[in-house]
Amino acid sequence: MSYPSLKITFLGTGTSSGVPMIACPCEVCASGDKRDKRLRSSIMVESATTRLVVDTGPDFRYQMLRERVKTLDAVIFTHPHKDHLAGLDDIRAFNYFSRKSIDIYANAMTEEAVRRDFYYAFTENKFPGLPELTMHSMTEEPFIVGDIPVTPIQVWHLRMPVMGFRFGQFTYITDANRIEPDSKEKIRGSDVMVLNALRKESHVSHFTLDEAAGIAKELNIPRAYFTHLSHQMGLHAMVEPELPPGMHIAYDGLVIEMPGS
């Protein structure tokens, strides 16, 4: 499959509480390093003609303002937890200026949550100015948004299925602690993989840093970036040098350019 050149922007790289965490006095939360300021996890994927975001967390509005985004074609959701969903209402600004509905893609579980939490966007007699959303039910079958090919990859967040995505040679996975062999085969061959790594200590539903690095090694990924980080991970400046060659801690605002084929 051919795919266009892509620009990927990390809109946020933090876990559900963000970094700094409210009321926390730890050295990470008090850090002056901008790389230690982490909004809730999300990425923006852009080709020459298409722009989409993966997840609309509570920081979605600020992320769009920070990156000066003027148009948006689609939102693709990983799962229905609030730190990945809560900012969807702010899509109405794009509706207002573009005069069109925004395509959203979600699996059955996430679609149910979107329709429940944002019920007012799906009523027949809508109040003016509400979000205009065109829902697309997503399975594990590949699909295309504009000119960007998307391959869904199911992973596990304890007992919850979460969707990761491969865009050409770039794979993005968050909120996972288990990846089945068939899903690993969908990742294999990627030039870049992004994977969640909550902290160094074990967690019931997220990969640790060592576990995430181990998957990157297992799949022989040339470049790996770790996201969905908590303040418990430690200072960016201290953790980054500890990583093996080709592996990095992602940070808000980081941009990765991917060539097309």
CATH of the domain at 150: 3.60.15.10
Note the pLDDT of residue 28. Answer: 98
- State pLDDT tens for residues 106-120: 999 999 999 999 999
In a domain, 73, yes or no: yes
How confident is the model over 231-259, as a mean pLDDT? 98
- Is 167 within 8 Å of 6 (Cβ atoms)? yes
Q: Is residue 107 part of a domain?
A: yes
Residue 147 scores a pLDDT above 80: yes
Q: What is the pLDDT of residue 2?
A: 87
pLDDT at 216 over 80: yes
Q: pLDDT category, 121, cuts 50, 70, 90? A: very high
Domain boundaries, position 27: 6-258
Q: Hey, is 183 helix, strand or coil? A: helix
| Residue 6 burial (CB count, 10 A) | 22
> Is residue 204 one of the residues assigned to a domain?
yes
Q: How many helices (H) and strands (E) does the chain have?
A: 7, 14
Is 201 a member of any domain? yes
pLDDT for the residue numbered 57: 98
- pLDDT > 90? residue 1: no
Q: What's the pLDDT tens digit per position in 174-183?
A: 999 999 999 9
Total domains in the fold of the chain: 1
pLDDT tens per residue, range 7-17:
999 999 999 99
The answer to whether residue 1 is domain-embedded is: no
40-51 per-position pLDDT tens digit: 999 999 999 999
Statement: residue 78 has pLDDT above 80? yes
Calculate mean pLDDT across residues 41-64.
Answer: 98
In a domain, 74, yes or no: yes
Tell me how far CA of residue 212 lies from CA of 12, 141, 196, in angstroms.
18, 25, 7
pLDDT at 88: 98
pTM above 0.85, yes or no: yes
Q: Indicate the average pLDDT of the chain.
A: 97
Residue 227 lies in a domain: yes
Q: Output the pLDDT for position 189.
A: 97
Question: For residue 38, is it within any domain?
Answer: yes
Is-contact 157 205, C-beta < 8 A? Answer: yes
- Banded pLDDT at 224 (limits 50, 70, 90): very high
